[in-house]
Homo-oligomer: A and B are copies of this chain.
Amino acid sequence: MSDLSSLGKVKALAFDVFGTVVDWRGSISREAQQIGTALDIQRDWTQFADAWRDGYAPAMDQVRKGELPWMNIDSLHRLILDSIVEPFGLAGLDDAQRDHLNRAWHRLQPWADSLEGLTRLKRRFTLTTLSNGNFSLLTNMAKQAGLPWDCVISAELFGHYKPDPQTYQGTARLLDIAIDELMLVAAHPSDLRAARAQGCRTAYVIRPLEFGEGYPPYRYEADEFDLVAEDFNDLAAQLGL
């Protein structure tokens, strides 16, 4: 915790989404399980979700390095999906079926505390997404899950993926606030560190089940982030809401 007195300046909270607001692993494995059941395919569908997610950071890095042209997350998810259908027995899915499965990322379910915590936080702060997910994905997800954003901001608007500085700076610019009036809320220290380096305030929300039971927790220094919270209700309480 550092310099708590100046947190009163914070006007907007920008939320990482995958893992922080929604449970991608549980949601994706449940949708894949349904397909598996329908097609009588036996696999470990949490492994399928993990394999899909494992391709995510490397694919964004290829975009960042110029090895791939700018592609949004729907397109990157589809590239990865096409590369893992074979070992999971799903190679028989046609284009429309793959597209539907790909859009499971638009239908991710929130963590149990997300809706209540966001509703509390919305009383005082402007709430936005700041996600690498594309604009339509985030908009569709919010509509489906009832996430009460004041606006939707995606890395797609900047043509840069987090943790590129353009994403944090661009969010403050669109909201017309100073960078230290913006707090990033995320379950991933790497994202928070990049935001802090740009001057954002930071709230680390620990999501111990993002990668399943027994996954080792992230390491972080005691004074690295302005706030550390167990969930969104805890974050709201720490911010006096």
Say how far A160's CB is from chain B's closest CB, in angstroms.
14
Contact indicator A139/B151 (Cβ below 8 Å): yes
With an 8 Å Cβ cutoff, the count of chain A residues facing the other chain is 21
| Residues of chain B lying within 8 A (CB to CB) of residue A142 | 150-151
Contact indicator B139/A143 (Cβ below 8 Å): no
Residue of B with least CB distance to A136: B176
Contact indicator B74/A135 (Cβ below 8 Å): no
With an 8 A cutoff between CB atoms, is A156 at the interface? yes
Copies in the complex: 2
Beyond A151-B152, A152-B151, A157-B157, is A174–B135 a contact (Cβ under 8 Å)? yes
With an 8 A cutoff between CB atoms, is A175 at the interface? yes
With an 8 A cutoff between CB atoms, is A126 at the interface? yes
Contact indicator B174/A136 (Cβ below 8 Å): yes
0/1 string, A16-46, CB within 8 A of B gives 1: 0000000000000000000000000000000
- Could you list 12 further interchain pairs (A-B, Cβ under 8 angstroms) beyond the known A136-B175, A152-B152? A126-B139, A128-B139, A134-B176, A135-B174, A135-B175, A136-B176, A136-B177, A139-B175, A142-B150, A142-B151, A143-B150, A150-B152
Contact indicator A143/B157 (Cβ below 8 Å): no
| Nearest 7 interchain pairs by C-beta | A136-B176, A151-B152, A139-B151, A135-B174, A143-B150, A136-B175, A139-B150
A128 to B135, CA, bound (A): 12
Chain A residues 155-201 with CB under 8 Å of chain B are 156-157, 174-177
Please indicate which of the listed interface residues A74, A138, A149 has the most CB atoms of chain B within 10 Å of its own CB: A149
Interface pairs (14), CB distance under 8 Å: A74-B176, A128-B139, A134-B176, A135-B174, A135-B175, A136-B174, A136-B175, A136-B176, A139-B150, A139-B151, A149-B151, A151-B151, A156-B174, A157-B157
| Residues of chain B lying within 8 A (CB to CB) of residue A151 | 135, 138-139, 142, 149, 151-152
